[in-house]
Amino acid sequence: MSTLVTAEFFAQPGRGDDVAKLLLDILGESLEHEGCEEIRILRDQSDADHVTGLTRWTEAHHYTDYLAWRTAHGFTSAFEAMLTRPMVIHYYDEIYQGQGIAAR
């Protein structure tokens, strides 16, 4: 079963666009990382400086390997320089997925 991972970024005031742009800039490499199934970049509708990556991985260790790789290549520090607090990461098992009437 896949693992869903959320990585929340709380940008300094006015830096939400910079955080989102950096996430989009590295998207191609991220999608090619072993175990990556899907990536979505989300922005809080009520706080443009709150950006979240929602990703799906074949196994949780693939995300931790990916994060270690990103950290070793300096991307974690690039993000941290734009944030008000450390990135918040959560790992989820998917229990159910269904489509509502608007998606059918």
Q: Is residue 50 part of a domain?
A: yes
Q: Is residue 104 part of a domain?
A: no
CATH code where residue 60 lies = 3.30.70.100
Query: How does DSSP classify residue 100?
Result: -
Residue range(s) defining the domain that contains residue 88: 3-93
Q: How many structural domains comprise the chain?
A: 1
Q: Is residue 98 part of a domain?
A: no
Distance between CA 6 and CA 9 in Å, rounded? 10
Q: Is residue 102 part of a domain?
A: no
Q: Is residue 41 part of a domain?
A: yes
Q: Is residue 101 part of a domain?
A: no
Q: Is residue 73 part of a domain?
A: yes
User: pLDDT tens digits, the chain, 104 residues: what are they?
Assistant: 899 999 999 999 999 999 999 999 999 999 999 999 999 999 999 999 999 999 999 999 999 999 999 999 888 888 889 999 999 999 999 999 999 999 88
